[in-house]
Structure 1
Amino acid sequence: MTTFNRRSFLQFTAACGAAVGGVSLAAPAVFAKPEPLKLKFGNDLPDSHSVNVRLREAIAAISAETDGALDISLFPNNQLGSDPDMMSQLRSGALELATMPGTVLSTILPITALTGVGFAFTSYDKVWAAMDGAVGDLIRSNLVKANLVGFDKVWDNGFRQITSSTRPIREPGDLAGFKIRVPLVPLWVSMFSAFGASPVSIPLAEAYSALQTKIADGQENPLALIYTAKFFEVQKYCSLTNHAWDGFWLLASGKVWKSVPDDLKQVMAKHFNAAAIKQRSDIVKANQTLQADLEAKGLVFNTTNAEVFQQALAKTSFYKDARAKFGDEAWNLLQKFAGPVG
């Protein structure tokens, strides 16, 4: 990878100009423009997802402000592999940038799943106060241990809902024996197991086919992803459970980040963080219309009582086990923003 510091380059060319000042030359000196710093950016989201829409805008703005010094190529929809594949590439430096759900990161750093505890957050006000505050700082400080650098603003993955091809999920008992596709996330496997469901851990890229072939009866995701992944084609019901919230961390490879000039880091941070704020608003606006859009596609919706589900979960060992896993300090910090959990 070619790296350079633009300030040093400009100082060098200015010095050269001063050195030849007053000397008549037959032709002006021409200096080659440095090679751009090329970075690959991967994620597992569909091309049309709001994250990728806003990333493209940010990447264009970064290129414009750096006069092409940064050349970032976006690879959505698992083009560079599954989340675990891309995580491995990030840590080794083979991939420079990615967005990754906190719960997926938890396979290597358990603390990153803290915000995905079942029925913890009940509103976006609580979510963003936590993520833009002490909870986000705690997780970000732990990312360094995995040779990852987390940008300041977390992107929105949204509150998660359950879809099904067999029956609506109206109450906790409806989950008994239910084959549900979940990400490769131990926390959510434990949660659905506690409800008596049969969770099946399958990467997002394989989720549609798993539902189509009945490997799983249902799945759980935010409405935006249910729409962009076209799960409505292979599902009949959508139950608004709001059972968990998760965000996308925008990550840089720690190994690569050290070699990026500070001025270019600042430009990336400015535009990526601004794009994250816009994408959060995108999800809020989309949620106002997505239910109607999905109903038009054939999904049948029902509401649920989150308190009833949380009470049922509290009768199991789920919250006790989660607290032991995260530790009292992290658990108390979560409750500071989310309120009493479990």
Structure 2
Amino acid sequence: MKKCLAGLLAFSLVMVAGCGQSTVSQGNDSNTGQPTEKVVLKLGHALPVDHTVDLASKKFAEIVAEKSNGTIEVQVFPSSQLGNEKDMLEQISLGSQDMGVIVAGAYGTIFPKLQISSLVYVYRDMDHALKVMNGEIGKELTDELLKERQIRVLDPFWYYGTRHLTANKPVKTPDDLNGMKIRVPEVAIQKDGLSAMGAAATPVDFNELYTALSTGVVDGEENPVTTIDSSAFYEVQDYLMLTGHIIANFMISISDSVYQKLTPEQQQILMDAAKEAGKYNNEITIAAEEKVVNELKEKGMTIIEPEKEKFMPAGAAVAKKYEDIWGDLYDRIQSVK
């Protein structure tokens, strides 16, 4: 009977680890030599290995290990190994996945108010975005997310990138976009945003986008410059317009049921490490974007500085459509100085 129970326990621990949940194992404190329990947390994200968010996630794991003297281990699972972003959020909410670094717009699939992060021109610039998400409004949103979905945000703003427009003709004003088929992801608020900017917004699966551009199924697309470069869109697009219409961010979060099992000291370690790794992420992502714009120019793209002020009213126009979801949230964000 004892052997059977031991076998069942070992099997249960393997199953828990396989599902992305935390595990606890016995170890020794490096300073005192006394036995300690080691917490192992599994963190997932959707981006490939060595993407800036993957590097930042690994930096987070390093900081946690250092600050906890090795008593907390964060294991990073890139490339949607633990599921796509919506799946991971559902699992974190239920407590069957420990942690995730997930783009803020995806949180809108389970907490509709956070759709606003995918609204065109909701932020004036990076500084504005940081003030909003690190301030009263960001706290309000993350507190509601915690209350409604049991997901605790450790840091609300890891910079993902700024989305810009590409096409085979220059676009400087909304009139230039008239009639142009611009690919957008299958996200309603982004489709609404590009339509309000003047485009014929056309959803196309990302995996089919290069072919769609090369065959003329769509005339252009919009993405962060790092994605434009890594996907070789410069081979089939002549112009890069620095529209900066969406400033996208990740939020690093943990299942509250997992968080509550940690000691206050362990909780603080995770909070501090998330902030420190977030600063690292923002620095390397901004540096990568600046470098890539120059590289795209060298690869033959013409860089256009459009008249952004003529595109920006699109944000307010789309915001009215979603007022039943977020009330006066858009106006409050615009009032942040």
TM-score interval, smaller chain:
0.7 to 0.9
- Verify: 1:326 aligned to 2:326, yes or no: yes
Looking at structure 2, the residues matched to 230 and 265 of structure 1 have their Cα atoms a distance apart, in angstroms, of 42
For residues 291 and 192 of structure 1, the distance between their equivalents in structure 2, rounded to whole angstroms, comes to: 22
Identity %: 25
User: Which digits, 9 at most, give the CA deviation of each residue in 1:148-172, with x for residues without a partner?
Assistant: 11113511123210123x4443322
- Say which of 237, 249, 255 aligns to 2:239: 237
* 1:109-128 map, 5 Å: 109-128=111-130
TM-score, length basis structure 1: 0.79
Residue in 2 that maps onto 1:336: 335
**Counterpart secondary structure, 2:74:** strand
What TM-score comes out, normalization by structure 2 length?
Answer: 0.80
Alignment check: 8 A CA contact 1:155 1:276 kept: yes
Aligned-partner SS, 1:67: coil
The equivalent position to 1:146 in structure 2, one of 146, 149, 152, is 149
Other-structure match for 2:87: 85
Cα deviations across residues 191-239 of structure 1 (Å, max 9, x unaligned)? Answer: 123334133164x667567656766543322223333455445544321
Matching residue of 1:102: 104
Q: Is the 8 A contact 1:218 1:235 kept in 2?
A: yes
Unaligned runs of 5+ in 1: 15-29
Question: In the alignment, does 2:165 pair up with 1:162?
Answer: yes
Shift of 1:183: 3.5
The offset of 1:181, in angstroms, is 3.5
> 2-side partners of 1:253 and 1:201: how far apart?
33
CA distance in structure 1 between the aligned counterparts of 2:131 and 2:73, rounded to whole angstroms:
33
User: Contact conserved, 2:123 with 2:334, CA < 8 A, in 1?
Assistant: no
Which one has a larger percent strand, Structure 1 or Structure 2?
2
User: Do 2:181 and 2:199's aligned partners in 1 also have CA atoms closer than 8 Å?
Assistant: no
- State the Cα deviation string for residues 162-191 of structure 1 (Å, max 9, x = none): 123x44433223434444343443221211
Question: Which residue of the partner structure matches residue 202 of structure 2?
Answer: 199
Tell me if 1:62 matches 2:64. Answer: yes
The amino acid that maps onto 2:332 is L
Partner of 2:280: 278
Does the aligned pair in 2 maintain the 1:4–1:261 contact within 8 Å? no
- Residue identity in the other structure for 2:116: L
**1:64–1:120 distance in 2 versus 1, CA, 3 Å:** closer
- The 1:257–1:216 alpha-carbon spacing in structure 2 relative to 1, beyond 3 Å, is farther
Structure 1 segment 68-79 matched on structure 2, within 5 A: 68-79=70-81
1:40 to 31, 42, 67: 42
Q: Classify the secondary structure of the residue corresponding to 1:119.
A: coil
Aligned in 2, Cα 1:228/1:323: closer, same or farther, shift over 3 Å? same
Instruction: State the match for 1:307 in structure 2.
Output: 309
Q: Which whole-Å CA distance do the structure 2 matches of 1:64 and 1:262 have between them? A: 17
Q: Distance in 2 between matches of 1:40 and 1:261?
A: 18
**Displacement after TM superposition at 1:64 (Å):** 2.8
Count matched residues. Answer: 312
1:88-109, CA deviations, whole angstroms, 9 ceiling, x for partnerless residues?
2222223211111221211221
Q: Is the 8 A contact 2:155 2:274 kept in 1?
A: no
Letter in 2 for 1:335: Q
Label 1:141 to 1:214 Cα distance change in 2 as closer, same or farther (>3 A).
Answer: farther
**Cα gap change, 1:182/1:74 in structure 2, threshold over 3 Å: closer, same or farther?**
farther
Any idea what SS the aligned residue of 2:155 has?
Answer: coil
Q: Cα gap change, 1:168/1:336 in structure 2, threshold over 3 Å: closer, same or farther?
A: same
Amino acid corresponding to residue 160 of structure 2 in structure 1: N
Letter paired with 2:159: D
Q: What residue ranges of structure 2 are gaps of 5+ in the alignment? A: 1-21
Q: Is the 8 A contact 1:155 1:277 kept in 2?
A: yes
Q: 1:292 to 1:209 in 2, by over 3 A?
A: same
